[in-house]
Amino acid sequence: MSASATPHAGPPAGLAVAQPLPDLYPPRKARGPVRRFVRRHPTIVVGGGILAVVILMALLAPYLGTVDPTALSPARRTRAPSAQYWFGTDMLGRDVYSRVVYGARVSLVVGFAVAFLASVAGLTVGLVSGMVRWADGIIMRVVDGMMSIPPILLAIALMALTRGSIENVIIAITIAEIPRVARLVRGVVLSLREQPYVEAAVTTGTRTPLIIWRHILPNTLAPMTVQATYICASAMIAESILSFIGAGVPPATPSWGNIMAEGRALWQVKFYIILFPAIFLSLTVLAVNLVGDGLRDALDPRMAKDA
C-alpha cells in the first residue's frame, strides 16, 4: 500500500512560530531644504526674522497706526504711554511711537548704504593693493593713517565740515569704514596670490584683470559678505551716536538717535522717550550681527557642520 501525500498541516500544537523582529532603526524621513537650513543655521533664521520684521515696519510705517512724526502738539507733551499714545509723547507733543517707526527708515538706509558703498570701495582698494606691488606700500600707509583714528571720531570730524543730512552721514561713515574692508581684502588677496592655480595663470601669461575676475574676486565674496553685515550694524550705531550729539541728520528728521537725544533731558522722569528707540536699535543691531555670525559659519568650510 503506497503512502499518500498529505498536505502540510502547520506546526505541531504548542510550538511557537518565530515572529519577525521589530525594526529598531526605522528609516529617517528626508528633511526638506527649509528644515535642513533651519537646523544648520539657526542664527541666520532668528536674525533674519527680526531684521525682516524691522524692514517691514519701516516700509509699512504709514499703515501701522502712525501719525505725522513731525506734528507738534504742546498741549499733549510728555504724555505717558497709553492706548492713544502707545509709546507716549515727547517734550514737544510728538508721538514717540510714530517717530520710532519712521526712524527705522533712517537707520536701515544708513546701515545698508554704508555697507554697500564701503564694501565696493574697500574691495577696489584691497584688490589694487594686493595685486599691484608698487602701489601696496603707498595705499597701506594711507590706510594705516586712517585706521589710527577711531571710526566714530573720524566721522564726527568729517561731519563737522559739512551740514547735517542723511547723505553726508552716509559719506562720513563710509569713509571711516573703508580702511577696515581694504585691510581684509588685501589679506585675502595676498593669500590667494600664492596659490598654485593663480601662479599657473600668471605663468601662462594671463592678464592681471582676468586673473582678478576669474580667481581672486570669487574667493573674496564670502569674507566680504560677512564683513558687510558687521559694517551695517556698526553704521547704525554710528548714525545714532552722530544724531545723539547733534552731528547727524537734522533734528526734525525722526531717527532713533535724535529721539534719544531729545529725551535725555527728561530721562529720569520720562524714561520711555529713550527706552523705546534704544530697544529697537539694540534689536536691529543684534539681528544684523546674528545674520553675520550665521553667514560666517555657513560660508567658512572649516566651521561648517553636518546636520
The tens digit of pLDDT for each residue in 126-173 reads: 888 888 888 888 888 998 888 888 888 888 888 888 887 888 899 999
* Residue 104 domain boundaries: 41-61+87-299
Q: Is residue 17 pLDDT above 70, yes or no?
A: no
Q: Is the pLDDT of residue 118 over 90?
A: yes
Tell me, yes or no, whether 54 lies in a domain.
yes
Question: Does residue 1 form part of some domain?
Answer: no
Choice between 9 and 93, residue whose per-residue pLDDT is larger: 93
Beta bridge partners of 95: 89
User: Which one has a higher pLDDT value, 50 or 7?
Assistant: 50
Instruction: Over range 77-89, report the average pLDDT.
Output: 83
- Mean pLDDT of all residues in 16-40: 61
Weakest mean pLDDT among 33-37, 89-93, 142-146: 33-37
Q: Is the pLDDT of residue 305 over 50?
A: no
pLDDT at 44 (0 to 100)? 83
3-state secondary structure of 254: coil
Does residue 213 form part of some domain? yes
Q: How far is CA 173 from CA 122, 241, 286, 300, in A?
A: 13, 11, 19, 28
For residue 180, what is its C-alpha cell?
A: 577696515
In a domain, 172, yes or no: yes
Summarize the confidence of residues 230-247 as an average pLDDT.
89
502712525: which residue's cell?
A: 66
Q: Is the pLDDT of residue 1 over 50?
A: no
SS3 readout for 265-307: HHCCCCCHHHHHHHHHHHHHHHHHHHHHHHHHHHHCCCCCCCC
Please indicate, yes or no, if residue 262 is contained in any of the structural domains: yes
Indicate if the pLDDT at residue 13 is higher than 70.
no
Residue 306, in any domain of the structure: no
Give residue 28's pLDDT.
57
Long-range contacts of 128-137 (CB under 8 A, 24+ apart): 129/182, 129/185, 129/186, 129/189, 130/185, 130/186, 130/187, 130/188, 130/189, 130/190, 130/193, 130/216, 131/189, 131/193, 131/208, 131/211, 131/212, 131/216, 136/186
pLDDT of residue 248: 83
End-to-end CA distance of the chain: 73
Tally of domains within the chain: 1
Which range, of 91-100, 164-173, 213-222, averages the lowest pLDDT?
213-222
3-state SS class at 89: strand
User: Is 0.85 topped by the overall pTM?
Assistant: no
Average pLDDT of the residues in 252-271: 83
Average pLDDT over residues 169-181: 91
Give the CATH number, domain containing residue 103. 1.10.3720.10
Between CA 110 and CA 104, with CA 92 as vertex, the angle to 5 degrees is: 20
- The verdict on residue 31 lying in a domain is no
Is residue 128 in a domain? yes
